[in-house]
Chain A
Amino acid sequence: MRSKLFRVGITAVLVITAVAFVSTAAFAQARPAAYTPAKTPDGQPKITDGIWNRRGVGGLDGGALEAEAQRPNNPLDPTARNPVSVSARPDGLNNTDRGFLDQFSEKLGLGAEDPDRPAPLPGQRQLMGIAEPGRILPWKPEANAARQDFLLKTNPAKGLKYLEMDARCMQPGLFFGNGPFQFLQTDKQVTILSEYQHFTRHINMDGRPHLPKTFKMFMGDSIGKWEGNTLVVDTTNFNGITSYSREIPYLSEATRTTERFTLTDANTIDYEVTIDDPTQFTRPWKVTGQYTKANDLPELLEYACWEGSITMRNILGDPPSK
């Protein structure tokens, strides 16, 4: 009797699990299956030629297509109009992530909607940012303490290492620079060109392994593969000096990202990146958003940042001599 009940129980669990699994799989596949992209000559799903823009994949501090009024305040702006400014927060920066993000990120259904934000177009993915409950990153306490200590030295910058990489005209590290972008596909690589900081992402599709650990790079070393309509990109070999935003000073060399670019129609790519930096966070966290075809942008123009820039001189003063 007991054993029969046990068997029934097991069966029920198995059935429920199977049903759950099947329906989850069906749900997960439901959206991509609705769109069948064209194929490249060698059979890869084809990313529509041309220029793309980013929506919602901002750092904590920006979004390419966000209207000026919807842009967040600069966290280092010490004026009263910026209530989450680091400088205006001598109280220890608690809750910075939540307060800052609430200014510009759309909700995950966890709070009130921003009435000023336009509704997404039909069928469009909600624009997000950090896809974490409350958008609070899972900091390790010691990393969070180091971060707060660091941030208090950034305005004014107490030295070169307290200056954000954007002010130094460096590549952004994670794939969050302001657009536009151009995607080019060959049989061995997906190449993404960025107007911002004129960087190129070389995503190797030919099965080669990652670079040896000796190589530490701003944009890391990327390997891609297709899973259905999703380009999955695994990136390692980061250099430990790029940041996710002004509020997170650096991501460590141990950082590994997994990006998923899902073609949902000819003009839309859903984007999700999982950021795993075990030295600073208790678990990986995600940022999600979208790329949309920018039909009104014919080409990438030149973004010459370092050439003639006086930003560093303004912040750090004139070097004694070159």
Chain B
Amino acid sequence: MKKLRGLVTGAGAVICILMLAGISAEAQQAQRRVGGKPDFNGIWQAMNSASWNIEDHQGEMGVPPGLSVVEGGAVPYRPEALAKKQENYANRATADPTEANCYLPGVPRITYMPFPFKITHTPTAIALSYEWTHALRPVVMDGSPHPETPEENWMGISRGRWEGDTLVVDVRNFNDQTWFDHAGNHHSEQLRVTERYTMTGPDSIQYEATIEDPKVFTRPWKMSMPLYRRKEPNIRLLEYECAYYLQERIYKDAPFF
């Protein structure tokens, strides 16, 4: 009898534990850790219109309106750089390296393109894979310095480190070819971006990017936005092959000899 009571109590405890486990699945997701750090694995996406314009902008045909994601509202350009921005804006339909030419969008623009991206997070490595033209950023986490490369990179070279539970990615070795948005906001090859990814819940990351480029801006400045987990159970990255679609259009009647 005693034995049976013990068995019943034990079974009850097990059921309770199982129920708790079920109830707190979401909480557990938040607590899941990889190599002692918050688990960033998943498919994420910004939900804003910064890709069209990182500053305040009203709606236009095909352009969703949006408030500035720039801290303080405006990008602190040097005067000659502001003139360049205005020229870019006027020519954006053909001059935007990303929208018009399908070139890699650079950082941080790739983060807020209106497409999902995947973070792969293991105890030793992190990789950012984007649906937009399968852009890829391996984030080296071994504490090594940025390599001395003569090459300038569209997506920069990324070195990650942890500050507590925040993933900090220091991105350098950029070229001067990418824009921050379709509105012509730009930078030089002296660009340095420091990204900070902080989980603020099981399904959200607060993203910050500090932009330094003494040739173009009067001071470092920052943009920030939340990133949201794509929670559809069947979510996955598909293919958006911008260059392929562009080639099919402009070379349709080739050869042109």
Residues of A that sit less than 8 Å from B by CB? 49, 156-160, 168-171, 182, 184-186, 188-189, 191, 193-194, 197-200, 202, 204, 208, 211, 215, 217-219, 298-302, 304, 306-308, 312, 315-320, 322
Contacts and interface: CB of A to CB of B under 8 A. Distances in A.
6 contacts: A159-B255, A171-B241, A298-B140, A301-B157, A302-B157, A306-B102
Interface string B246-257: 011011101111
Interface residues of B, number: 47
Nearest to A49: B124
Interface in B133-165: 134-136, 138, 140, 142, 144, 147, 149, 151, 153-155, 157
A200 B129 contact: yes
A288 B46 CA distance: 41
A120 to B, nearest CB: 30
B254 A186 contact: no
B255 A184 contact: no
A218 B122 contact: no
A10 B216 CA distance: 87
B172 to A, nearest CB: 12
B251 A198 contact: no
Interface in B104-145: 104, 118, 120-122, 124-125, 127, 129, 134-136, 138, 140, 142, 144
Which of B94, B136, B153, B237: most chain A Cβ within 10 A?
A: B136
Which of B124, B147, B177, B243: most chain A Cβ within 10 A?
A: B243
A182 B127 contact: yes
B239 interface: yes
Interface in B151-210: 151, 153-155, 157, 177
A299 B160 CA distance: 13
Nearest to B124: A49
A319 B239 contact: no
A218 B238 CA distance: 10
Nearest to A200: B129
Contacts of B228: none
A83 to B, nearest CB: 28
A169 B103 CA distance: 11
4 closest pairs, A vs B, by CB?
A317-B256, A316-B254, A200-B129, A198-B136
B236 interface: yes
B234 interface: yes
A217 B239 contact: yes
A159 B234 CA distance: 38
A200 B248 CA distance: 23
Given A49-B125, A298-B144, A317-B255, A200 B154 contact: no
Nearest to A218: B239
B238 A217 contact: yes
Contact of A182 (B138, B147, B149, B234): B138
